[in-house]
Amino acid sequence: MAIGATLLQAVAKLMFERPIRGMSNDQLITMLDQSRMPFAQHIQKHADTQANRVLLAHIIGIECWAQARLRQLTTGQNILIDESDSYTPSTDTPYAMLVAHAGATRIESSACLQELLRAGVPLTRTIVHNQFSELSVAAWIQYIVKHSMLEARKMR
């Protein structure tokens, strides 16, 4: 394994796996649901600029891609390793519409997590991430929350 890949796996463990270790299903759902308001408040205060539309479209695309990847755990089929590009809305979309889309996407992430739990998928079950190798279901949820806020902080 290359040193870069090993480093990315170590980062993934620290950023995504470690903070959620030991969380119950209900705690993880609550964490995801509680992340919605601060994220929404942050993105709503920014102007409709091309740079902000690009960032928000990217955030939405990543979150929708993560949902699709997680939902594959309930199908029993081989995991499709795709990219987030096909889930990313157009950057020509007005910013206000992207903000609304982002809010709906976060609600859908919560629904996705609840679907997985109803299907009996354990939080410790892993599925491959294109950069970080194997992440548990719980770490994917942490990834969704962390990624959106880290990227949103770049908005001006």
For residue 126, what pLDDT band results from cuts at 50, 70 and 90? Answer: very high
Average pLDDT over residues 6-12: 87
Residues 22 and 20: their CA atoms lie apart, in Å, by: 6
Confidence of residue 95 (pLDDT cuts 50, 70, 90): very high
Contacts 24+ apart (CB under 8 A), 44-49: 44/99, 46/95, 46/155, 46/156, 47/95, 48/94, 48/95, 48/96, 49/95, 49/156
Express as a percent the part of the chain with pLDDT over 90: 87
**Arch. (CATH architecture) of 3-16+26-152:** Up-down Bundle (1.20)
Q: How much is the pTM?
A: 0.94
The β-bridge relationship of strands 133-136 and 126-129 is antiparallel
In this prediction, residue 6 has a pLDDT band, given cuts at 50, 70 and 90, of confident
